[in-house]
Each structure stands twice: as C-alpha cells, then as structure tokens.
Chain A
C-alpha cells in the first residue's frame, strides 16, 4: 500500500517535470526539469525492485548525459526562447493525436499485462551475478552489437565535427 502511494507520487513528479520541461522558456530550466524526470524515473525503478537499473539511470543519465547537455547550454550561452502564438494545425491535430497515442499505448500495455499477469511492485530483483549473466551470457550478441553501434556513432561525430584542414595537417605537435 505504502509502496503504491510512493509509486504514484513519483509518477506524478515525473509527469509534472515533463510538462514543466515543455512549458519553460529558458533552456537551463528545461534541462533541470529533465533531470527531475530522470530522478523520478530512477525512484520508480527502485520501487519496482530494479535497483541496478535505478542506480545506472542516476549515474549515466542524470549524472553524466545531462551534465553534457548543461555544458552545451552554458557554452552556447543560450538565452530565453521567444514564445510564438502557436499554430492552429498543431492544436487541431496535435491534441487528439497525443490522446489517441496515449490511449493506444495504455491499451496495449494493459491488455498484455492481463495476459502475462504483470509484475507486482518490488518483484524485479537482481544480484550483480544475475545482471552479469544476462548481459554477458544470455544477451551477449545484442549487447556487443549495441556497443559497436555506439562506437560508429562516436566516430561519425568526430569526423563531422573536425574540420578538413585540421585532418589534413595531422595532430598538433606543439603539446
């Protein structure tokens, strides 16, 4: 019972943070709301019993990736965004679209969970050995393929970001 109340509480914080992310006009405030969303999600994972996922959510997303977002915003010195009046098409098509999408997702999840029986709060437990077995044994190929994918993305970013003349000159020798 107490767990359920906490679960709904953090869910509400998560949604409120996400709405605030869209409403705020300053990029820094939006980034901070996203951190709140990540933190609330971590709390939800913790309540479900997935402790490792919760910790990784905080360390990787809230603690590292969002810091990079923040650094970018600080470096660009991005100011306040201007509010537009908003388009009528977005209002007419967007709001019903969001509602239909949310209903579809909720309906799929609910029908599936009644088929599988769902997972009660606090049931997802995992020791380091169990997680390691999943990552490096049962799902080894997808795990490694994902890491190669990320490596390709990093190399692509380096190639795109470096200027051609700097590549032609080679690495700087004066360091």
Chain B
C-alpha cells in the first residue's frame, strides 16, 4: 500500500470511528434516561422526535447555549484543561479497539480498527489510567470542598480498582499468549462440543470476567461505585463548579469510557466479533462480525444502566475494603490457577 493510500484510509477510519463513538455516547445518555424511566414506571423523553430519539441533539444545543460560568476562585489554567484531558484520553483509547475482520473494498483492504498495535491491551490500560488526571485536576482546580473531596475519592478509587482490573486481564493474556487485542479475539474462535462458543468467559475465565466487570464499574465511576459524585453528600463531586460545555465534556468522557470498557469486555471475554451464525453471502460475511460486536457492546451498555437503577451506593470504607480485601486476592488466585493449568497442559 502506498503512503498516500495509507494516510487516506487511516483518516477515513479515524473520522468514522470517532463519529460513531460520539454518536454512541450521545445515545447512551438517551438509553440511560429511557431505561431508567421504564424501571421507575415513567416514560422518559418522549417529546423530541419519535420515542424522544432526537433528545441528544436538543441536549447538545442546550449545552452550547448555556452560560459558561468560570468562578473567580478557580485556578484557571487547570480548570480549563481538566475537562479537555478527561475527554481526550477517553476518546483516544478507542484507537486500538478492533471491531471486525479484514475488509476489502475494491483494490484496498483494511482491518476494521484504526491501528493494530501488538501491545493493544496495555495501550488501552495506559490511556485509561491517564484519564484519572482529568477528574483529579478538576476537583483540585475548582477550589471548592465538594469538588476536592470528589476528586480525591475518584483518584483513590480508580487506582485501587485498576489493580484488580489489570490482574483480572492477566488470566486472558496467559490463555492467549499475546497482548494484541486481535490475537486475543482470534484465539477465541471455534466451539466446544459444537454448540458452546470458545469464548474466554466459558473457557476458564468466568471469575476473571466478573472481577473485570465489577472493577470496570468502579473505574468508570458508575453506581454502585459512584462515590466521587455522590449527590446526597457531595452535590455533584468533581464537576460541581462546571457548567455548559465543560460540564458536558465530563459527561462525554464518562460515557466514552463506558463504551471503551464495554468494548474491552467484549473483546477479552465474549469472543469479540465471533457470532453464533455463519453466512455464505460475502457481504453478510463482511458485515455480520461488526453486528455481533455492536450487539455485545450494547448488552454491556444496557447492563450498566440496569445495575445503576437497581443497586444502591456503597459506603466509602466498604468500597475500599471490597477492592483490596476481596477483589484483589480473587484476581491473584485466578492468575495462579490459570497459570498452573496452562503449565500443566503444556
């Protein structure tokens, strides 16, 4: 492939994937409002468009036209930089996530992924770990007690649960022997006894899946781990002092992180784009992997909302004790058992 073709294809992929991600983020908010409404026996947004489907656009317009307040007591450079940091790192991590197989359009072929790095998994972990700075700096630079407490809680919680999140993934890495997300998905093709898919969740990593799921909720600051923005004690936590588009950027970052975490769970534990049905038509063969992938990610997004409106919030000491005394030992035990079994088989 010539360098011009490479640049053009990469540009098209980047723009398309970021566009899809941001649309997904906007519609996750709609999903959240709609599902929460139905759980509480309400209707949710119904006025803007059919089923309130245009509500995200109305919200966006409202965010843009709201007054953008900057309180006089904030530390301005970091106050402005914090939402940018949060949203940039949240969007960047999508760049190594693969959505499907090799696709050929005319003379050009490409993987459905912005770039295939052979340490893809570590890149995602690294970028999400940098996302903490957006929240922590927002809390500090706002120069207000609620925001500071929210920022402190968020950073302590995120680095605590990142440990068990990372260790839960080690089992998967041992199983597939690679850090490339594409290799990990390829290792999950095929079936047991012709009907159970060979996904990691059915292949010895069930415990790791649940550890990952719980830590992911804490990483993205979602209920039952939404201590950083606990309304009843901290007003709104780290984004108390933010308004208009800056506030919206924190929301975008939170939902983009949720999408990334859901993508990662799909790739690592649910077999990525491998689906139950196989089609003979070439167009369907090219498209179906993407459909399976999106369905699995949607399932995770729905689960997020479902859990949020079902479970109450933890207390802070319970949260820390659970992370360090329950999840971490379980994750280490999972690594030891997986490593022993893999070594015994080899």
Determine the distance from Cα of A63 to Cα of B155 in the docked complex, in whole angstroms. 10
**Interchain CB contact under 8 A, A51 and B132:** no
Q: Report how far A70 CA is from B158 CA in the complex, Å.
A: 13
Contact of B119 among A51, A68, A75 (CB under 8 A): A51
> When the two chains form their complex, are residues A70 and B133 in contact, meaning their CB atoms are under 8 A apart?
yes
Q: Contact check, B129 vs A128: say whether CB atoms are below 8 A apart.
A: no
Size of the chain A interface, CB-CB below 8 angstroms: 23
Say whether A70 contacts B317, CB under 8 Å.
Answer: no
Most B Cβ at <10 Å: residue of A35, A51, A59, A75: A59
- Residue B136 contacts which of A59, A62, A70 (CB distance < 8 angstroms)? A70
Q: Give the number of chain B interface residues (Cβ < 8 Å).
A: 33
What residues of chain B lie closer than 8 Å to A62, measured between beta carbons? 126, 129-130
Chain A 16-52: CB-based contact to B (< 8 A → 1; otherwise 0):
0000000000001000000100000010000000011
Which residue in chain A gives the minimum CB-CB distance to B81?
Answer: A32
Interface centre among B119, B139, B148 (most CB of A within 10 A): B119
Give a binary string over B149-183; 1 marks a CB under 8 Å from any A CB, 0 the rest. Answer: 00110011011001000100000010001110000
Q: Which residue of A lies closest to B321 (CB)?
A: A175
Question: Which of these, B118, B125, B127, B156, contacts A71 with CB under 8 Å?
Answer: B156
Measured between C-beta atoms, what is the minimum distance from A74 to chain B in Å?
A: 5
At the interface, is chain A mostly helix, strand, loop or mixed? helix
Cβ B136 vs Cβ A64 within 8 A? no
Contacts of B75 in A (CB 8 A): 28
In the complex the two chains form, is B317's CB within 8 Å of A175's CB? yes
Measured between alpha carbons, how far is A67 from B130 in the docked complex, in Å? 9
Chain B window 288-311, contacts with chain A (Cβ cutoff 8 Å), 1 for yes, 0 for no: 000000000000000000000000
Question: In the assembled complex, which residues on chain B have CB atoms less than 8 Å from the CB atom of A63?
Answer: 126, 129-130, 132, 159, 162
What is the CB-to-nearest-CB distance from B332 to chain A, in angstroms, rounded to a whole number? 13
- Once A28-B78, A74-B152, A128-B178 are accepted as A-B contacts, the answer to whether A55 and B136 lie under 8 Å apart by CB is no
Chain A interface residues (CB < 8 Å from chain B) = 28, 35, 42, 51-52, 54-56, 58-59, 62-64, 67-68, 70-71, 74-75, 127-129, 175
